[in-house]
A and B are shown apart, each in its own frame.
Chain A
Amino acid sequence: MTPKHNNNRTMIGVLAAGILAIIYMIYVMVAPQGGHIQGWTPRASSTLAEGTDWVFNFINYWNYLFFIGVVAAMGYFIYKYQRKSDSDRTEKVKDSIAFEMFWVIFPTLLVMVVFVLGARDYMGQRVTPKNVYEIQATAFQWGWTFTYPNGGTSDSLVVPANQPVRMVMTSNDVLHSFYIPDFRVKQDVIPNRFTYVWFNAPKPTLKYNRPNDSTLTVSSLDRKHILHCTEYCGTSHSGMDRNVQVMAYNDFETWLEELTKVDESAEGGKKVFESKCQSCHSADGTPGIGPTWKGLWGSNRSVSPGGAVPADENYIRESILNPGAKVANGFPNAMTNFTGLIKDGEIKAIIEYMKTLK
């Protein structure tokens, strides 16, 4: 059987189709959607984003050039030097030292330039400027507690606009990571150690409630930012997404004052539940990692050690501040110790809320 060699054109076609497909995808990505160009990177919402995006684009342009060069050479050679018959002989190609040296020295210089650009900008990200506003962050399975200088705490992040903010972060259990794509900042959060990042978000965001609010489109530039956990931390790893809201300074001051007031009603308890508890507990009877709260209040709890105890104020309080003391039978001893993560008023509010879940 004599193999056919006329399929080189098909191959060139497939290669060209591959490149066209990728160009099309890049086009779709950067094409304007609702007036906003959706580039490779998400919207740039902190002062650090500019430097990151500049290096990203610098590398990308060189990458396009190299990639197109390599594939064009492949296509050209396949076309030009295709085998005519099985008895083709090839002539010996002389090694060109000059060409080889060029291909060693030129890329080395280029990657060194890329290295310096990236490293210089990175140092800027790591050195915190003066007059920084500090927010403490505590990560746990699976949520965040942000503590502001006046002692107020929140579960989603609110920062003042146009002001360098430094996050001082630690974890209560396993590794987590603090990542806001729009700000281009990321830092792992480690138990028994403090790590930090700083950023400065110049523009306030709109006061929408959720990033998936139906009134929002992808292109809406001033919607809230999202905070992700980017170090795998267990079952609800992806459930650690939180909103990041940037407020003008006056709005932020007002918000901060409101924050220290705790709403001790059932209504307030529902909010605490939604922010701190619902990744493991449900309010409607569906089984979770922990027991559901529906019908929990006032019932007799089968726990170990201890046998049966009534679910009263003291039981609830103890279960939050020292969850290992009485573990509900049928559930793992997996709950985070909330000491320092929850205020007394919030516990009262949770109890009020539980009373409503018959």
Chain B
Amino acid sequence: MSVTMIEPGQTMPAIEHHYLNAEKGIKSWLTTVDHKRIGIMYLISVVLFFAVGGLLAVFVRLELLTPGRTIMDAAMYNRVFSAHGIVMVFLFIIPSIPASLGNFLLPIMIGAKDVAFPRLNLASFYIYWAGGILGIIGMLSGAVDTGWTFYAPYSTTTTTVVWMTLAVFVAGFSSILTGLNFVVTIHKMRAPGMTWTRLPLFLWGIYATAIIQVLATPVIGITMLLLMMEKLIGIGIFDPKLGGDPVLYQHFFWFYSHPAVYIMILPAMGVISELMATFSRQKIFGYKAIALSSMAIALVSFLVWGHHMFVAGQSEVAAIIFSAITYLVGVPTGIKVISWVGTMYKGSISLRAPMIYAQMFLFLFTIGGLTGIMLGSLNVDVHLHDTYYVVAHFHYVMMGGTVIAFLGGLHYWWPKMTGKMYNESLAKWAAGLIFIGFNVTFFTQFILGSQGMPRRYYDYVPEYASLHAFSTYGSWILGLGLLVAFICFIHSLIKGEQVGADPWGGTTLEWLTTSPPDAHNFKRVPLVTRNPYDYDAAYDDLLGDGMGDGASRTPVVSPSRS
């Protein structure tokens, strides 16, 4: 059987009916229950909050350009870095990949028409925005200068945190409902033949994430509620003056916020698995290892929160136990990295922009992971805790990991979402600038941190000045790179070439349907007869035009066995 090739210069015919033109008008978007449209609305929202958080980050770095006052006073600086953290964590990174790419792709990848509860899905979106608006009110009304962690008793005695904590409380419900929706969808809505071991690894990542979202998010809700009650009616849970215990707050907070770290990174790991397979044209090395390690990470992540508190005043026994379990989380993460690198072995590696982001992810995430090994060590963490080493570490994981994977995934699935290809060289320029800018900004901070520079400092001793300045220069390159990436996507919307169903030669189900997909994803329910990355079988068994039965295949730029 052969596959029709598109000759150079020949343009792809545009798809006539798809989810974007199924209905028209702003109202059809705001009231839609189509998971794809909700995914797109999430995408626009998280990009908006990323821009806000990013702008705040630029101000933070600008202030740190020189010791003492550069552009703002200490009180303003504290508000800016707090807002940066809160926006990035709660309004950008937690919903980023699961709510945008996850929403769009999850039903398509399992061959379903939609998520299990489409109306709940739309409700999640509006709850998320309710949280976002409360957060914006909190920022504009002034005084949240607690950092994103809201540590008591500073947060309960000295500043007005009610709006912000309410924002986190409300946004949490969006996260819980999305998680619930995804768990049920994956359990109940898989197409015939889509067994658990045939789930694409992106969905394993989303599934593990959704479980954490459902189980852990209520804890932050309760914690924020207690914090508000402490602030408003003085119930005395956390404030020692009222008989409370501030260390208890930290236990509550990290019991959510450590698993939340995996809410942020597991979907990113899923994206990377997809990219490595498609652009290496090779089945994932150790599929089961990656799938099971996601679940292992999700479970063990609930038992390591105390490693944020080695010097907080918890007992030595607790510290030692938390350190030991922390290292156990490191192992499955290491296995994933080895599996991704192993996937390239005997592959056919194409370095399109998504793959470049995947390689960047491996580079940066490996640094992030290895420095996590450093921070897990008890005596070393005593020195490094709350220094820039920690700041650099979690930026390597959260930005070098999640944001880079998000960008890679966005390039990868962009043609599917919009039907348009992006400009390859513009995308590569953006990736290069981001890579250089990121390392200049954040690698410097490893050095600052191991030298002893504490985090959340408005002012610093002159010894650190040159490193701080260097880091600030990096942030400009990084910002420019992100701007170019944004322009690249806008450019694609306006000038992008129409693509076929499967521009990359991908083998998961989303590449069987048209680009952009039909409003109902597939015209018939697909029948799955193979594993997700069986490149040798894919061209024989599961070819099709979105019918899922291999009857015919739309012309795509794709390999042929001839």
Taking beta carbons and an 8 Å cutoff, which residues of A are in contact with B?
A: 1-3, 5, 7-8, 10-11, 14-15, 18, 21-22, 25, 29, 40-42, 51-52, 55-56, 59-60, 62-63, 66-67, 70-71, 73-74, 77-78, 81-84, 86-93, 95, 100, 103-104, 107-108, 111-112, 114-115, 117-119, 121-123, 125-126, 173-175, 177, 179, 181-182, 184-188, 190-193, 195, 211-212, 218, 226, 228-239, 241, 334
Contacts and interface: CB of A to CB of B under 8 A. Distances in A.
Contact of A114 (B347, B362, B373, B536): B373
A22 B439 contact: yes
Contacts of A187: 311, 313
A226 B453 CA distance: 11
Interface string B365-391: 011001101101111111101110000
Contacts of A63: 370-371, 373-374
B75 interface: yes
Contacts of A230: 385-387, 454-455
Contact of A233 (B154, B281, B462, B561): B154
B454 A175 contact: no
Size range of the chain B interface in the assembly = 35 or more
Contacts of A103: 334-335, 338
B439 A60 contact: no
B347 A107 contact: no
Nearest to A241: B461
B482 interface: no
A81 B285 contact: no
B316 interface: yes
A188 B313 contact: yes
A77 B386 contact: no
A25 B444 contact: yes
B359 to A, nearest CB: 6
A263 to B, nearest CB: 28
Interface stretch (B16-24, B267-275, B324-332, B411-419): B324-332
A186 B311 contact: yes
B151 interface: yes
Contact of B351 (A8, A87, A95): A8
A179 B371 CA distance: 21
B374 A122 contact: no
B331 A107 contact: yes
Nearest to A51: B379
Contacts of B300: none
Interface in B384-442: 385-387, 424, 428, 432, 435-436, 439-440
Contacts of B158: 174, 234, 334
Given A63-B373, A175-B151, A235-B78, A90 B348 contact: yes
A46 B53 CA distance: 40
Contacts of B346: 81, 90-91, 93
Interface in B457-476: 457-463
B366 A1 contact: no
Contact of B246 (A66, A185, A191): A191
Interface string B283-315: 101100100000000000000000000011100
